[in-house]
Amino acid sequence: MKIALDAMGGDFAPQAAVDGAVLAAQKLAGAAQIVLIGQEDAVRPLLQQHGAAADGLILQPASQIIEMGEHPAKAYQQKQDSSIAVGYRMLHNGEVEAFCSAGNTGAMLVGAMFSVKPVSGVMRPAIANFVPKLAGGFGILLDVGANAECKPEMLEQFGELGSLYAQYVLGIDKPKVGLMNLGEEEGKGTVVTQAAHQLLKVNPHIHFIGNIEGRDLFNDKADVIVCDGYTGNVVLKMAESVYDVLAEKQMHDPFFDKFNYEAIGGSPILGINDNAIIGHGVSTPEAICNMLLQGYQMAKSGIADQIKDTFKS
Amino acid sequence: MKIALDAMGGDFAPQAAVDGAVLAAQKLAGAAQIVLIGQEDAVRPLLQQHGAAADGLILQPASQIIEMGEHPAKAYQQKQDSSIAVGYRMLHNGEVEAFCSAGNTGAMLVGAMFSVKPVSGVMRPAIANFVPKLAGGFGILLDVGANAECKPEMLEQFGELGSLYAQYVLGIDKPKVGLMNLGEEEGKGTVVTQAAHQLLKVNPHIHFIGNIEGRDLFNDKADVIVCDGYTGNVVLKMAESVYDVLAEKQMHDPFFDKFNYEAIGGSPILGINDNAIIGHGVSTPEAICNMLLQGYQMAKSGIADQIKDTFKS
């Protein structure tokens, strides 16, 4: 199995990318090979610095870089030899089984939509992220930014996508799906959440437990938390800021330390035909390493096929 | 000046209400009188337990109680001698200058809308809450639940209402108004936030600093954070849960301790003709006391008149 990494993506690339890939290769211990995609001149010397530890890593040349500030769709189209475009091409061609990048988030989404494409039957793919649970492990939160605005049917599908991920990748049996809302009662919320509640309630593929509230993010009410991308993004960034403040105050705790994005890896794009993960722009080697291990887990679990099966009817 | 308190409102009423009122009376030291509204048989003995400390408190009888689970509009209409209905009547008649209750939130909103009524020109009043700032003090967040769904013009008005509160009650000079969004760039977000951004940008009454993100809640980018009631409610309850987890883990810190709703008091309803504050259902005496002191500050500041002046054109 091969997992690809955008060696040029992220604020500290290519150094952090190469260091993270070497770390991941050690942990994978041959279970999967890592393909580093990027400018040969920049990446090769960094690999050499690692000596024998980098022996198993494959370098796939890509001459261009999509910068963080570039217009995603335009850059993706114009830079066909960029590390992101090459990564998606390899993914689409089956040369690698997952593609990870801490680069331009918009370009990663563009590639997901236009290269590997949404699974037939999925209205709009979602970006998922993870919230630590007080009882241990993580829950999955989606969407966190791909779709600021959602139709009720999209939220219903996010419930299904998240439930499949929780089941097949996180290993949660019969995951509990909750709809983020401003009250527990069925009739609460916006027109969209009210309608989504009715759809989720009768969906036979999931175990819907009803509305949850902002205070339920960390408890064990729901393993899968469904919301629109606007809300998910606010929640995610707020959780990150809580971690940052605690870290700055040197208030450490095993639970709150799991808020650290580095421990989580990246955000999978769910509902597309292959496995793609978006990393944090400020990804450190540890974060890159965890994103690659997550890509390996996704590929091994066959989550993309599970999603295709569920939605093919 | 007289500040009224619903003595029957909240999970620990009337005990917590009476104890909180006595505490507040001590702190106010005669600057304002507190009127306790509730069932005489229940409240009088509790006042007597406080002896001389309760001497200045006024008891206003109200024979009925709107329970937490009751349908707000129906209960408000049917129980005209409830503590909430009597409180709003006194407020509307000018017998008291602020009314505070930790009781049924929905009934408090109904009373605000139908008894003291929205300020002419205000489309929909908002419930505000407060977020501690790392640099000290508090910012104001609105709406946190009165309006799950918002039009762009409502968000614009929330910016004005919050700005006036920040200026006149919190004493912040030229408060910075930020629009909660999923990215800093002007074009980000939902159709509603995009349109609201354009309205806020040209509003002459406020100092709009643009979009802010979930990570900016606690920093000093914005003093006033504008969002729809659905989002604000999720954010507020999530912040409360962070405090609860920290408290349970006995992780104390002056900044995070300010997340405690008890220190904040209550949530003012902004955009109505008088001063009304909704307290947390689980309000302790300390929370009740702080809600009353906040009511006093609001009344003293003349915030309701400032709002009327701004919107009268």
Please state whether the peptide bond connecting residue A14 to the residue before it is cis, i.e. omega within 30 degrees of 0: yes
Whether residue B136 sits in one domain with residue B115: no
Q: CA of B70, closest CA in chain A: separation in Å?
A: 13
Does one domain contain both A259 and A132? yes
What tokens appear for A163 in the block? 């439930």
On whether any CB of chain A is under 8 Å from the CB of B136, the answer is no
> Do B52 and B107 belong to one domain?
yes
User: Which pLDDT band holds residue B40 (cuts at 50, 70, 90)?
Assistant: very high
For position B6, which CATH number holds?
3.40.718.10
pLDDT tens, residue by residue, B243-294 = 999 999 999 999 998 888 888 889 999 999 999 999 998 899 999 999 999 9
What number is the average pLDDT over the span B15-37? 97
Mean pLDDT of B82-99: 98
Let me know: does A161 contact A147? Beta carbons within 8 Å. Answer: no
Q: Using the 8-state DSSP alphabet, how is residue B77 labeled?
A: H
| Entry field: residues in chain B | 313
Which amino acid is it at A163? S
B54 and B143 inside one domain: no
Mutate to test the interface with A, among B150, B151, B215 (most CBs of A within 10 A): B215
Q: B141 by DSSP, 3-state: which?
A: strand
Of B215, B216, B237, nearest to A215 by CB-CB distance is: B237
Q: What is the ipTM of this complex?
A: 0.94
In the listed set B227, B247, B263, which residue is the last one of a domain according to the structure? B263
Q: Encode pLDDT of B176-205 as tens digits.
A: 999 999 999 988 999 999 999 999 999 999
Residues A130 and A109 placed together within one structural domain of the fold: no
Q: Is B29 an 8 Å CB contact of chain A?
A: no
Q: Indicate if A105 and A78 belong to the same structural domain.
A: yes
- Residue B253 CA to residue B125 CA, distance in Å, equals 34
* B208 and B189 belong to one structural domain: yes
Other CB atoms within 10 A of residue B267 CB = 28
* 3-state DSSP of chain A: CEEEEECCCCCCCCHHHHHHHHHHHHHHCCCCEEEEEECHHHHHHHHHHCHHHHCCCEEEECCECCCCCCCHHHHHHHCCCEHHHHHHHHHHCCCCCEEEECCCHHHHHHHHHHHHCECCCCCCCEEEEEEECCCCCEEEEECCCCCCCCCHHHHHHHHHHHHHHHHHCCCCCCCEEEEECCCCCCCCCCHHHHHHHHHHHHCCCCEEEEEECHHHCCCCCCCEEECCHHHHHHHHHHHHHHHHHHHHCCCCCHHHHCCCHHHHCEEEEECECCEEEEECCCCCHHHHHHHHHHHHHHHHHCHHHHHHHHHCC
Which residue of B145, B191, B214 is in closest CB contact with A233?
A: B214
Could you tell me if B14 and B101 lie in one domain? yes
Considering all CA atoms of chain B, what is the largest pairwise distance in Å, rounded to the nearest integer?
61
Distance between terminal CA atoms of chain A? 29
Question: Which of A149, A236, A241 has the CB atom closest to B217's CB atom?
Answer: A241
Which of A182, A244, A250 is most worth mutating to test chain B (most B CB atoms within 10 A of its CB)? A182
Q: How many domains in chain B?
A: 2
- Nearest residue to A172 (alpha-carbon basis) of A143, A203, A137, A127: A137
Residue owning tokens 């969906």: A203
> Is B178 an interface residue toward A (CB < 8 Å)?
no
Residue B265: predicted pLDDT: 84
- Residue B312: CB atoms within 10 Å: 9
Q: Cα–Cα distance between B257 and A160 in angstroms, integer?
A: 38
Chain A residue numbers touching B180 (CB-CB < 8 A) = 234
Query: What is chain A's pLDDT, residue by residue, as a tens digit (313 residues)?
Result: 999 999 999 999 999 999 999 999 999 999 999 999 999 999 999 999 999 999 889 999 999 999 988 999 999 999 999 999 999 999 999 999 999 999 999 999 999 999 999 999 999 999 999 999 999 999 999 999 999 999 999 999 999 999 999 999 999 999 999 999 999 998 899 999 999 999 999 999 999 999 999 999 999 999 999 999 999 999 999 999 999 999 999 999 999 998 888 888 899 999 999 999 999 988 999 999 999 999 999 999 999 999 999 998 7
* B130 plus B258 within the same structural domain: yes
CA B69 to chain centre: 20
Mean pLDDT for chain B overall: 96
CB pairs A-B closer than 8 Å: 112
Give the model's pLDDT for residue B272.
98
**C-beta separation of A21 from A288 below 8 A:** yes
> pLDDT tens digits, residue range A49-90?
999 999 889 999 999 999 988 999 999 999 999 999 999 999
Instruction: Pull the structure tokens for residue B237.
Output: 């309850």
> If you average pLDDT over residues B49-63, what whole number do you get?
94
Q: Among A230, A245, A263, which residue terminates a domain? A: A263
B101 and B227 fall within a common domain: no
Residue A20: domain span? 1-120+271-313
Residues A116, A131, single domain; the answer is no
Residues B284 and B174 in one domain: no
Q: Which of A14, A18, A49 is nearest to A289 (CA)?
A: A18
Cβ–Cβ contact B244 with A under 8 A: yes
Q: Is B217 on the interface with A (CB under 8 A)?
A: yes
Please answer yes or no on whether B235 and A240 come within 8 Å at the CB atom.
no
The proportion of chain B whose per-residue pLDDT surpasses 70, expressed as a percent, equals 100
Q: What is the pLDDT of residues B199-240, one digit of tens each?
A: 999 999 999 999 999 999 999 999 999 999 999 999 999 999
